[in-house]
Structure 1
Amino acid sequence: MSGDSGSLLNQSSSTDQSKNGVSRHVTQSSMMIGSKSSNAKKLTIKNFKAKPVLPENYERETWRKLEEAVSAIHRSSFIRYSLEELYKAVENLCSHKIAKNLYSQLRDVCEQHIRKQVHVFDENIDGELFLRRLEQEWQDHCQQTIMIRCIFLVLDRTYVLQNSMLPSLWDLGLDLFRENVLSRDHVRERCLLGLLELVVRERSGDAVNRSLLRNLLSMLNDLQIYHSLFEKHFLKETEQFYLTEGDVKKNQLEVYEYLIHTEKRIEEERNLCITCMDNSTLKPLIACVESQLIARHTDFLLNKGLSYLINENRMSDLQRFYSLLSSIQDGTQSLCTCFTDHVKGVASGIVMDSNADATMVQDLLDLKEKLDNIVNTCFDKDAKFIHGLQRAFESSVNKRQNKPAELIAKYVDQRMRSGNKESSEAELDRTLDRIMLLFRFIHGKDVFEAFYKKDLAKRLLVGKSASVDAEKSMLSKLKQECGGAFTSKLEGMFKDMFHSKELMSQYRQYQSTKADMQDISVDINVNILTMGYWPTYTAMEVRLPVEMGKLQECFRQFYLMKHSGRKLTFQSTLGHCVLKSKFKNGNKELQVSLFQTLILLLFNEGDVFSYKYIRDETLCKDVELKRTLQSLACGKARVLTKIPKGKDVGDDDKFEFNSDFKHKLIRIKINQIQMKETVEENIDTTERVFQDRQYQIDAAIVRTMKMRKSLSHQLLASEVYDQLKFPIKPTDIKKRIESLIERDYMQRDKDNTNQYHYVA
């Protein structure tokens, strides 16, 4: 060492002989350093002057010791040398560049040992006994390889690591076992057959040694022959096994039982694979089972059992069906198609059964609720099933033109009447929401509107609406669904009723100022109906009693005084009255129609009147008069007696006041025949809808032609379809075009009959 301060370095060398026989030089250095406070310090370390040298026989003697130790490990006998001594010997050989020979010698020794051991597999043993022997040999080989690697660890971590082409000692042991044991055909074949036999026994329900199966499959995986030797054969055997089982079980079991069996099989295979096999096998294994048990029989299972599962509402089985089909290609699509076909069949059956019209809407609502629950619970709210269910209902509901729309309107009317005590307001609102779901499927919404408007008018005029809030809620739902144009007339009806109440309050003040009206004991209430809002009613002239006529005329003068220029028409068919009546058994209040009132008031003048007399006095038409007399003399509350007795009213019949009439109630409602809907009224309503549709078609055609000036028939029809909200046939458009041409709204091109021109 040199430095500014000056120093003295004494060095001496000596040779030390280790007990392994390796000579090495030991250098001792002593240093004395004198320094001044202002000078830096430097230290220099020098290498050995000479490398350690091995004795001439060291390599041979050391290998003899190592070979003896390896042989002892192979024989599972005592090793005479300490592991530390053997480890040091390997380290010395590697540090003196003898690792290559050492690696080669070690490989030869291990290979010779394995070749000597192969004879144990030549014995004529098969099945599980052979597998146990193979497992034992493998475990012994692994333990021996681990022990040998511990001794030769330096060789593994230096020489082998530096030579990438050489396998590590562990990999060397695997290669030797694979090349000398499992490369033999009879060993490979018996190993494979034994493993597959264990799997078959496992699938048959027998108790098998899973530990043996797991260890041997782990061996194949370590030897990197798992996929080539076992997996492809295993999957092929699995495919054949479940192909056979599927063909047998699908006929033996009910569909729900087959689904449970399949689910159980898939879980068993998953458990077996996770426990004993490589993770990479799980996916193809489950796919194989699903392919053979589900995919091959999808159509058969759907056709055989889906309808039964839906009809019986077997939720867990339907959920299982969906889950299993979700795992195969196009499985849920097949399920959705079959589900949709089932819904179409059931819903169409309900709609087309004309004998069950009374329960059609309720049956459709119950079916829709049930199927919605299945889709949400069992089919995981899958969008395919939601849309499929909607398409199926839409197709089914419109198979019978117009009738479902009419019946839905009637169903709403039943629920909205005050006599319906079955549900609370909250339940009624939920029912209306369900009805709206059904309403969306209807193509002919104008038919619904016509019948709904007619029924709403009856509820409002007779005061039989269950709840004004419910009525407005339904109106709001319709407006949200179809727009303001659809509900404008319905909203106008409510406005008329509100304005009528205000008007009647003003009229009563006006009436109180009229001196000639003070002695009249009859009260009157009038509803003013705007003609465009309300259904069309046929005017019927009748002869009113003097007092009633006087009240009517008084109101007419009052109204026209307030609204000059308007026309006021009284609709006698919509009138109703409350009559105070005296019978031998007590006084009663009769709630009757205007026609019934006119007839009953005649009996203040006498007890018996002929049919002809009643007709002449009231001026009622025969059809209406006969139906009204039937309600009074042939119904449940018979305040008149028909002479002779019978259900039908003839021109020669007579009617007598029934003074002995009895009833437990004080106020008695006698069915208002004219408020009951008849077949003729239904036909008339439907015809008005068709007439309105013709007007809408005409308007759409003229509107389109006015904008385009000239169009082909095809383009005109296409635009008209887009504008109209109800179903229409091509022939209907053609008829309306011809009608418009006749009325000079448009004309046909002279050269091209399929081209039309607008006539300004």
Structure 2
Amino acid sequence: MLAASFQSLNKARTDALISDVNWPSSIDSSDTANPDLQGLNSCIKRLLLHRSDTNSRALQPLYQAICDTCAVSSESSRALYQDTTDQIKRCIEILVSDIGSPPMRTDSEACAQWTHQLLSLWTECRSRLHLVAHLLFPILADHHINTSPYQLLESLCFTHFTQQIRTVLRAQSVVISGIISLVQQGRIDAQHTHSSHTTSPLSHADLSESLSLEDPTSSHSHLPDTTDQVKSVTDEDPSCIHIAYKLVHLASEMGLGDSLQSALAEETHAYTARLENDWYATLQPEILVKIVPQLRACLDREKRWAVWLYDATQSHSIIEQMQTKLVTNHTQHLAGLVAYLLENEDQRGVAELYSLLEFSNALPALQSAFASYVQQAGMQLMQGSEDSLIDSLLTFYTSMQHIIASSFQGNSAMSHAMRDAFENVVNARDSKPAELLARYIDVKLRAGNTIMSDAELNQCMTQVLALFRFLRDKDMFEEFYKRYFAKRLLLARSASDDAERSMLLKLKEECGPDFTAKLETMLKDIQLSDGLATAYTERRKHSPFDFEVNVLTQAHWPTFPDTSVQLPDEMQQEMKRFKSFYETCHSGRSLHWRHALGFLILVANLGKAGIKELHVSTFQAAVLLAFNVVPLDCEISYTSLLQSTQLPPSELKRTLQSLASGAIPTRVLRKHPQGRDVNDTDCFTINQALRNDRRRIRINQIQHKDTREEQKNTEQRVFIDRELILQAAAMRILKARKTIKHAELTTEVVLQIKNRFAIDASELKKAFERLIEKDLMERVEGERGLYRYIA
């Protein structure tokens, strides 16, 4: 009763299916109309061995007879099932025989062609099984309730198909050889795609046909799922790889998996060895760089193909072995290419090299090679001209930052490697980079308003700060910066107060408030001096000339030479009046004049050249005012000027050079005889032939470079300050801790001072000894390496 109900249900469900099937038109209706099913085997044969369309109504009587037979008894159904499956097997045997005998396994191309035909045969057979499955649905459903009729029929056919291939044709080795040949050809074609599009002996038309035969509606197949194929095989892969992909899965279902895996692994090892020999035959950089993109593309392909070429246990190890032979064993040669690529400004090549070594977990070698290049290239820059050194370093640093951001994808390890190398470069010449950096900032802040906008100036200072961070001896920079900063303030040469404050704020954020304390006091002194000058001007409203004085706190300003000069009586009287005024405002303080930093504005009658307004230094003014006591055309000798100005000879000669041998539009004096150098026998006159249409003329003083003695004195002051800074830091820690071990005190002092300068162990030990000598701390008896604070 249960069986009858099931048959009734199946009949109701399949009547709809059978009406939608396109049956072969070659089937004779006289065969199918026979109620004793004599035409069934003939119908199956025609359905499997021929492919043409007809109206499904022609098979309705035969389908009805099958349903009736299955409904009679289970014995009738089993007999009919056995008879039909035997007929299907015979058809499979006929189909297999159609492809002919397998070729010799040594003929790889023939094996590939024959194996492809085998794939096409099975794909075609699967598509035809749908017609048979619909016809035999009552029989198949009766015997396998939990399996769809199509799955049952396909499994039965594939088993017999495999048996024919293995036991009758004995073509296992041919199938494996064909797959290997297809994979070999696919690798060759894939390598050539960078330069040209090549095709394998199996055309894309063959591929399209073999793929289109797969039935998309089947839930079970002896070919791989199309979803997996999209992940493992792409449209860019050669056609033979698409075919090999299906054949590998087919061979595995046929029970050839172990043998195929062994053969594929052997072929991959041989293929890797061939690539290694070909690609590394020469180690010349210009040739080696060309294989980098090929290497990466090859590893990408092999990793993607490994998903279906090998089983899960083999896949990872084979790819690792390939990476080892093609990349890891040659890491030093590959990483060394970064210098060649950077020298040739090949950013794309650098990116490809980085991608390859990152893919192969070989970045440490690239980091080392990159750092080595940065250091070598940077050291070459450090040997160049001092005038362009900072610009060169900034350009180089910016370019390396761009390489890290673009070619190295912002990798932090590469950035750290570059920064470490750059730090060694910047500190390679002791204090010289600190001096040049301070000078560079001075030039920019002096001319900032005329050569760049405020935004550009701010950007420039931000870039300079990047170099500043690499300085180990920032206190040395502070000393030089303070000297240039002082001159800008005192000579009113700053681009703007905002620019100066902005730079101080950047330094303060970078190094802390202690670093900029003196600089901020210097700026405050100028502001206070402005207020003092206003008060003095109001008190001396009837003064014959304007007189402004900058009063500086000596402890916070750099030391400047105390050069004496003989000034006109009017100026000396005004200086005395200001001193009296200052003493009334600030009792107990004394003033010391530093004329080397003063400047004046003179209105000069230059004869035929006209009346000009000259912006000059105090020393230049002293020389020019000496001409007031002689007629316009009269000469004054060098010795006379030396006597009247009381300037040191070296300073007087430098001043005369600026007035008589400077830029042509500013030569307000003429030297006799002509020449740049000033001799003791020279004479000078007013240059009435001066050609300068401007009424206001700024005459720059010739700047003399710091002598070795001055450089040594500057460094000595820094070293003295360092000792005091170390002692102060140690005392702050001792006051807070009362007792502390030597190692802990050393560590904490280093943490406090590391942003100002690099600490030498001997300097630190010397600072501790000085504190002990001053009775500010002592060693604890019986406790080795323990210090105690003395209140």
SS at match of 2:589: coil
Q: In structure 2, what residue type is equivalent to 1:658?
A: T
8 Å CA contact 2:742–2:787 kept in 1: the answer is yes
The answer to whether the aligner puts 1:574 opposite 2:603 as a matched pair is no
Aligned to 2:731: 702
Cα offsets for 1:477-496 (capped at 9, x unmatched): 22332233322332333332
Mapping for residues 314-353 of structure 1, pairs under 5 Å? 314-328=346-360, 330-351=361-382, 353=383
SS at match of 2:683: strand
CA distance in 2 between partners of 1:654 and 1:92 (Å): 140
CA distance in 2 between partners of 1:480 and 1:77 (Å): 84
The answer to whether the aligner puts 1:88 opposite 2:64 as a matched pair is yes
8 Å CA contact 1:218–1:277 kept in 2: the answer is no
Q: In structure 2, what residue type is equivalent to 1:248?
A: D
> 1:654–1:268: structure 2 CA closer, same or farther, 3 Å change rule?
same
The answer to whether the aligner puts 1:247 opposite 2:224 as a matched pair is no
8 Å CA contact 2:507–2:516 kept in 1: the answer is yes
Mapping for residues 33-112 of structure 1, pairs under 5 Å? 66-71=40-45, 73=47, 76=50, 83-95=59-71, 96-98=73-75, 99-111=77-89
CA distance in 2 between partners of 1:545 and 1:216 (Å): 103
Q: For 1:657, which of 650, 663, 684 is the aligned residue?
A: 684
CA distance in 2 between partners of 1:497 and 1:622 (Å): 32
Cα offsets for 1:350-407 (capped at 9, x unmatched): 23x2x42222211111012112222222222233333333333233323333322221
8 Å CA contact 1:697–1:720 kept in 2: the answer is yes
> 1:656–1:234: structure 2 CA closer, same or farther, 3 Å change rule?
same
Aligned to 2:554: 531
Aligned to 1:195: 179
SS at match of 1:168: helix
Aligned to 2:569: 546
8 Å CA contact 1:589–1:668 kept in 2: the answer is yes
Aligned to 1:308: 340
Cα offsets for 1:85-108 (capped at 9, x unmatched): 443344345443234555455444
CA distance in 2 between partners of 1:671 and 1:216 (Å): 83
Cα offsets for 1:435-454 (capped at 9, x unmatched): 12222222222222221221
Mapping for residues 78-477 of structure 1, pairs under 5 Å? 83-95=59-71, 96-98=73-75, 99-111=77-89, 114=92, 121-122=100-101, 124=103, 126-131=110-115, 133-135=117-119, 137-139=121-123, 141-143=125-127, 145-162=129-146, 168-182=152-166, 186-202=170-186, 203-204=188-189, 205-209=198-202, 210=204, 211=207, 213=240, 214=242, 217-218=245-246, 220-222=248-250, 224-225=253-254, 228=258, 230=260, 233-234=263-264, 236-251=266-281, 254-262=287-295, 265=298, 293-303=326-336, 305-328=337-360, 330-351=361-382, 353=383, 355-418=384-447, 421-477=450-506
SS at match of 1:417: helix
8 Å CA contact 1:712–1:755 kept in 2: the answer is yes
Q: In structure 2, what residue type is equivalent to 1:173?
A: C
By how many angstroms is 1:697 displaced?
0.6
Cα offsets for 1:92-147 (capped at 9, x unmatched): 45443234555455444544555577666546564345235534543454355444
> 1:118–1:372: structure 2 CA closer, same or farther, 3 Å change rule?
same
> 1:711–1:472: structure 2 CA closer, same or farther, 3 Å change rule?
closer
8 Å CA contact 2:390–2:436 kept in 1: the answer is yes
CA distance in 2 between partners of 1:216 and 1:655 (Å): 98
Aligned to 2:760: 729
8 Å CA contact 2:448–2:454 kept in 1: the answer is no
Q: In structure 1, what residue type is equivalent to 2:67?
A: E
Aligned to 1:21: none
Gaps of 5+ in 2: 1-34, 105-109, 190-197, 211-239
TM-score under structure 1 length normalisation: 0.79
SS at match of 2:451: coil
Q: In structure 2, what residue type is equivalent to 1:485?
A: D
By how many angstroms is 1:148 displaced?
3.3
Cα offsets for 1:516-569 (capped at 9, x unmatched): xx5x63432212223343222343444432211110011112222223333322
CA distance in 2 between partners of 1:628 and 1:216 (Å): 90
By how many angstroms is 1:408 displaced?
1.2
Q: Tell me how many residue pairs correspond in the alignment.
A: 688
> 1:299–1:447: structure 2 CA closer, same or farther, 3 Å change rule?
same
8 Å CA contact 2:37–2:62 kept in 1: the answer is no
Q: Which has the larger radius of gyration?
A: 1
By how many angstroms is 1:467 displaced?
2.9
CA distance in 2 between partners of 1:465 and 1:541 (Å): 26
Aligned to 2:615: 591
The answer to whether the aligner puts 1:562 opposite 2:594 as a matched pair is no
SS at match of 1:418: helix
8 Å CA contact 2:565–2:645 kept in 1: the answer is yes
By how many angstroms is 1:294 displaced?
4.5
Q: For 2:526, which of 482, 488, 497 is the aligned residue?
A: 497
SS at match of 1:747: strand
8 Å CA contact 1:418–1:467 kept in 2: the answer is no
Deviates more, 1:661-670 or 1:307-316: 661-670
By how many angstroms is 1:431 displaced?
1.2
CA distance in 1 between partners of 2:182 and 2:199 (Å): 9
> 1:660–1:350: structure 2 CA closer, same or farther, 3 Å change rule?
closer
TM-score under structure 2 length normalisation: 0.76
CA distance in 2 between partners of 1:630 and 1:130 (Å): 97
| Aligned-pair identity (%) | 30
Q: In structure 2, what residue type is equivalent to 1:258?
A: I
CA distance in 2 between partners of 1:671 and 1:206 (Å): 77
> 1:124–1:529: structure 2 CA closer, same or farther, 3 Å change rule?
closer
Q: For 2:776, which of 738, 745, 749 is the aligned residue?
A: 745
CA distance in 2 between partners of 1:554 and 1:185 (Å): 124
Deviates more, 1:368-377 or 1:335-344: 335-344
> 1:72–1:585: structure 2 CA closer, same or farther, 3 Å change rule?
closer
8 Å CA contact 2:636–2:685 kept in 1: the answer is no
Cα offsets for 1:42-96 (capped at 9, x unmatched): xxxxxxxxxxxxxxxxxxx9676544544555665999x9633443344345443
SS at match of 1:317: helix
SS at match of 2:74: coil
By how many angstroms is 1:691 displaced?
1.6
> 1:743–1:649: structure 2 CA closer, same or farther, 3 Å change rule?
farther
> 1:280–1:739: structure 2 CA closer, same or farther, 3 Å change rule?
closer
CA distance in 2 between partners of 1:507 and 1:182 (Å): 116
CA distance in 1 between partners of 2:118 and 2:70 (Å): 35
CA distance in 2 between partners of 1:596 and 1:185 (Å): 112
SS at match of 2:486: helix
RMSD, matched Cα: 4.2
Cα offsets for 1:141-178 (capped at 9, x unmatched): 435544432332223334213489x9722111112212
Q: In structure 2, what residue type is equivalent to 1:403?
A: K
